[in-house]
């Protein structure tokens, strides 16, 4: 029975240590905690034949039973396919390199999940993200190696009013130590890596189930043919692995792509064409709800775990923004996110366009 006036929090639980400790901390703080497992992808492990989501839900059951909190599993597979995976495939076909984790956070974890939590009368939702909030601003997590504000830049400040990040002020080592001290069965569970529905599998092999391979040419910038590839859409700027190009000299890197002609341009080493001082972006989200005053002097990153880079942001036409970096950036990739910061506060971001 809950205490009168006690706030209810629904915790998005993945079966990992971060969300488990989040639930632990919230219960210790006096909240009425409910665990909710979101099944977003329906597939079996190609090696063991086991359903990976079933294994994760089993971990959620064990943790919630130990914490003595109710828990539920909800199937969001269709919503995930409609709102995330379909757009992901569309972007890949166009030759871009989208980030499905950002789409998942925007449309599933902080939208569909929030609506479900409201239906059961929750005051807040909580996740195991390494971020912080004061109810209005999105703030970097304390652990600089784990900060996940880059992936959450597309949620709104209005949504943040209903979100708690219990471990945002902790470092990962503290989280694991706390889990072990309270004998949570997932204290040493390996962190998940890679795109959620691909995991550690071969990216091209997975995508070929949905996008047919089409042989094309690797060319240098002077149009010299140096090899064959399986489809330009399967490669990303700056890529050096799995190209199948050898020979003496420095490693080959993807420099550019021509999707219409199915050509992937490559050069050896850190070629100057890999670097640029400018980019444009659309689909802009400002967490405050309104754009800042331009020109905006701030810092930005164009990939997760990149150090913040000083830049100037200006407004363009047709909803575009333009970014000029103080120092040229390597492999600015269409489809990826550019995310803006003032000190520790995440201002928002957008999607890089060609």
Q: Which domains does the chain have, with CATH numbers?
A: 8-181 (3.40.50.620), 212-270 (2.30.30.280), 275-353 (2.40.30.10)
The predicted structure's pLDDT at residue 52: 67
The predicted structure's pLDDT at residue 1: 36
When pLDDT is cut at 50, 70 and 90, the band that residue 348 belongs to is: very high
HSE (side-chain half, CA atoms, 13 Å) at 325: 20
Nearest in space to 98 (alpha carbons), one of 108, 107, 110, 86 = 86
Contacts of 11 by beta carbon, 8 Å cutoff, 6+ apart: 19, 22, 23, 26, 33, 34, 35, 36, 125, 126, 127
Q: How far apart are CA 162 and CA 7, in angstroms?
A: 12
51 is a catalytic site residue: no
Give the DSSP H/E element, type plus range, for residue 239.
none
CB atoms within 10 A of CB 144: 11
Is the overall model pTM greater than 0.85, yes or no? yes
Contacts of 158 by beta carbon, 8 Å cutoff, 6+ apart: 289
pLDDT at 151 over 50: yes
Residue 158 burial by Cβ neighbours in a 10 Å radius (0-12, 13-18, 19+)? exposed
Q: How far apart are CA 152 and CA 282, in angstroms?
A: 17
pLDDT tens-digit profile of 229-270?
999 999 999 999 999 998 888 999 999 999 999 999 999 999
Q: Which two tokens stand for residue 149?
A: 């504000």
Average the pLDDT over 62-76 and give the result.
Answer: 95
The predicted structure's pLDDT at residue 224: 97
pLDDT at 71 over 90: yes
Beta strands, E only, 26-180: 32-39, 71-75, 124-126, 131-133, 138-140, 163-164
Least confident of 38-52, 219-233, 331-345: 38-52
196 is a catalytic site residue: yes
Q: How far apart are CA 244 and CA 251, in angstroms?
A: 11
**Omega of the bond leading into 295 within 30 degrees of 0 (cis):** yes
The predicted structure's pLDDT at residue 198: 59
The predicted structure's pLDDT at residue 201: 62
Q: Which two tokens stand for residue 88?
A: 């992901």
End-to-end CA distance of the chain: 56
Nearest in space to 227 (alpha carbons), one of 181, 282, 264 = 264
Q: Check 104, 131, 230, 298 and give the catalytic one.
A: 104
Q: Which two tokens stand for residue 18?
A: 């971060």
When pLDDT is cut at 50, 70 and 90, the band that residue 193 belongs to is: low
Give the DSSP H/E element, type plus range, for residue 283.
strand 275-286
Average the pLDDT over 36-55 and give the result.
Answer: 68
pLDDT tens-digit profile of 86-108?
999 999 999 999 999 999 999 99
Q: Check 51, 131, 196, 230 and give the catalytic one.
A: 196
Which phi and psi angles does 115 have, rounded to 5°?
Answer: -65, -40
Query: What is the overall mean pLDDT for the chain?
Result: 92
pLDDT at 51 over 70: no
When pLDDT is cut at 50, 70 and 90, the band that residue 195 belongs to is: low
The predicted structure's pLDDT at residue 314: 97
Least confident of 151-165, 191-205, 306-320: 191-205
Distances (CA, A) of 35 to 53, 64, 66, 294: 15, 7, 12, 43
CB atoms within 10 A of CB 69: 20
Buried b (16+ CB within 10 A) or exposed e, 256-275: bbebeebbbbbbeeebeebe
Average the pLDDT over 332-348 and give the result.
Answer: 97
Angle, vertex CA 337, rays to CA 336 and CA 343, nearest 5:
150
When pLDDT is cut at 50, 70 and 90, the band that residue 50 belongs to is: very low
Q: How far apart are CA 25 and CA 9, in angstroms?
A: 11
When pLDDT is cut at 50, 70 and 90, the band that residue 319 belongs to is: confident
Q: How far apart are CA 193 and CA 239, in angstroms?
A: 18
pLDDT tens-digit profile of 12-43?
999 999 999 999 999 999 999 999 999 888 76
Q: Which two tokens stand for residue 154?
A: 């597309």
Residue with more model confidence, 41 or 323? 323
């Amino acid at each position: 029975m809950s205490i009168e006036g006690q706030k209810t929090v629904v915790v998005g639980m993945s079966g990992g240590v971060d969300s488990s400790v989040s639930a632990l901390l919230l219960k210790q703080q006096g909240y009425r905690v409910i665990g909710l497992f979101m099944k977003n992808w329906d597939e079996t492990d190609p090696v063991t034949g086991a359903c990976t989501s079933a294994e994760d839900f089993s971990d959620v059951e064990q943790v919630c039973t130990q914490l003595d909190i109710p828990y539920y599993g909800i199937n969001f597979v269709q919503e995930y396919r409609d709102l995330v995976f379909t757009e992901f495939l569309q972007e890949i076909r166009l030759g871009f390199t989208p980030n499905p984790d950002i789409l998942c956070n925007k449309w599933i974890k902080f939208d569909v999940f929030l609506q479900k939590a409201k239906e059961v009368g929750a005051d807040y939702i909580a996740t195991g993200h390494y971020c912080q909030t004061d109810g209005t601003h999105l703030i970097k997590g304390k652990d600089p190696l784990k900060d996940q504000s880059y992936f959450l830049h597309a949620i709104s400040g209005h949504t943040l009013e209903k979100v708690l990040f219990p471990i945002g002020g902790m470092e990962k080592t503290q989280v694991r130590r706390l889990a072990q001290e309270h004998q949570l069965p997932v204290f040493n569970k390996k962190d998940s890596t890679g795109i959620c529905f691909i995991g550690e599998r071969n990216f091209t092999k997975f995508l070929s189930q949905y996008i047919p391979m089409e042989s094309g040419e690797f060319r240098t910038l002077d149009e010299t043919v140096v090899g064959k590839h399986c489809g330009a859409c399967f490669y990303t700027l700056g890529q050096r692995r799995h190209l199948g190009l050898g020979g003496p000299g420095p490693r080959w890197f993807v420099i550019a792509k021509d999707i219409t002609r199915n050509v992937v341009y490559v050069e050896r080493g850190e070629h100057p064409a890999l670097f640029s001082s400018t980019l444009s972006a659309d689909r802009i989200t400002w967490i405050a709800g309104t754009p800042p005053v331009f020109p905006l002097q701030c810092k930005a990153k164009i990939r997760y775990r990149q150090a913040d880079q000083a830049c100037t942001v200006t407004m363009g036409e047709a909803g575009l923004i333009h970014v000029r970096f103080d120092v040229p950036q390597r492999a600015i990739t269409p489809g990826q996110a550019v995310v803006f910061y003032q000190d520790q506060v995440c201002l928002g971001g957008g999607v890089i366009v060609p």
